[in-house]
Amino acid sequence: MSWYMLGVETQSLRGGSPTQRPIFNRAIAYTRALLECYMYARYKSHDDATLSSIEDALCHFHTLIDDFLLGRPGRKARAKADAVRTHLVKKRKVVKETTSQTWTPSRKRQEMNAWRDYISHEMDVSQELDADFNFPKIHLMSHWVEQIRRHKAWQQYSAKGHEQANKTTLTDGWNASNHNLTYLLQVIMFERRFLCFEITELNLQALAQGRENSAATGKLLPSGCYGGS
């Protein structure tokens, strides 16, 4: 199924303008490197050659990943790009008010189109500078070879545990915070309270189990007998 995805992408990106062609080729190479890394890692047994192939594919993958940064702007990156746009729109308005009196209609269209392209370019640059691929599933790939060397081949590797950990330690805490500048402290305190409640619940269960065991032991002993030595 994974290789079908590469074929579909190759067919989808076939053709294009001369300026699009290099970008499309890098996108195909990016997908190929990612799939090679994944397929090598799924081998039932490994040696130095297969592990080197995983590392080479992963290295190639990371050399091409920057081409996709525009697709990974986070909330802060988008907010910063919007601030850049607001600043440039104000600047364009000032230029228009001070110099457009002498412009012909054709010159006005040219200037507005130039400003539009300039603002769009600056927003893309801002988002690309602040975007990254620093999230768990990408980072975990860098540990594959190390984990295979330590634990041998693994077929049931899953990121679900890490996703659940992210949900319980970060997402839930973020949703419970008031999203202001002290949100990190609030997230930590939320997780701390959550763990305290879990510990208390376990302690209460252990106490209840201990009482049940004591009561059961008392019932099993003959009349007039006591436990202990």
Q: What confidence tens digit (pLDDT) does each residue in 66-84 have?
A: 767 656 666 777 788 888 8
Residue 5, CA distances (Å) to 39, 43, 47, 89 in order: 13, 20, 28, 41
Which residue has tokens 């303008």? 17
Name, of 41-45, 48-52, 152-156, 159-163, the range with top average pLDDT: 48-52
The answer to whether residue 40 scores a pLDDT higher than 80 is yes
With a pLDDT cut of 70, the percent of the chain lying above it is 78
CA–CA gap between residue 53 and residue 47 (Å, rounded): 10
- Contact, 30 vs 61, CB < 8 A? yes
For 141, the token pair is 């790939």
Which one is predicted more confidently, 36 or 218? 36
Q: How far apart are CA 74 and CA 135, in angstroms?
A: 11
Looking at 97-106, 134-143, 215-224, which range is the least confident one?
215-224
pLDDT digits (tens, 9 = 90+) for 176-214: 888 888 888 888 888 888 888 889 998 999 888 888 877
DSSP state of 19: T
Please tell me the distance from the alpha carbon of residue 143 to that of residue 156, in angstroms, as a whole number: 15
Averaged pLDDT for residues 144-165: 72
36 and 53 Cβ atoms separated by less than 8 Å: yes
Cα–Cα distance for residue pair 5/11, rounded to 1 Å: 10
Q: 124 is written with which tokens?
A: 């893309």
Q: What is the pLDDT of residue 195?
A: 84
- What is the per-residue pLDDT for 131? 67
Environment class of 10 (CB within 10 Å of its CB; exposed 0-12, middle 13-18, buried 19+): middle
More confident residue, 222 or 55: 55
Q: 222 is written with which tokens? A: 């003959």
Q: Does residue 41 carry a pLDDT above 80?
A: yes
Q: Three-state SS across 123-183?
A: HHHHHHHHCCCCCHHHHHHCCHHHHHHHHCCCCCCCCHHHHHHHHHHHHHHHHHCCCCCCH
Instruction: Categorise residue 228: left if φ over 0, alpha if ψ from -120 to 50, beta otherwise.
Output: left
pLDDT of residue 33 exceeding 60, the answer is: yes
Give the mean pLDDT of 33-39: 86
pLDDT band per the 50, 70, 90 thresholds, residue 217: low
Most confident of the ranges 1-15, 71-85, 119-133, 198-212: 198-212
**How high is the pLDDT of residue 53?**
92
Q: How far is CA 74 from the centre of its chain?
A: 10
Confidence of residue 10 (pLDDT cuts 50, 70, 90): confident
The helix/strand count (H/E) of the chain reads as 10, 0
Where does the pLDDT of residue 227 fall: very low under 50, low under 70, confident under 90, or very high at 90 and above?
Answer: very low
Other Cβ atoms closer than 10 A to 151: 9
| Residues 162/138, Cβ–Cβ less than 8 Å | no
| 224 pLDDT above the threshold of 60 | no
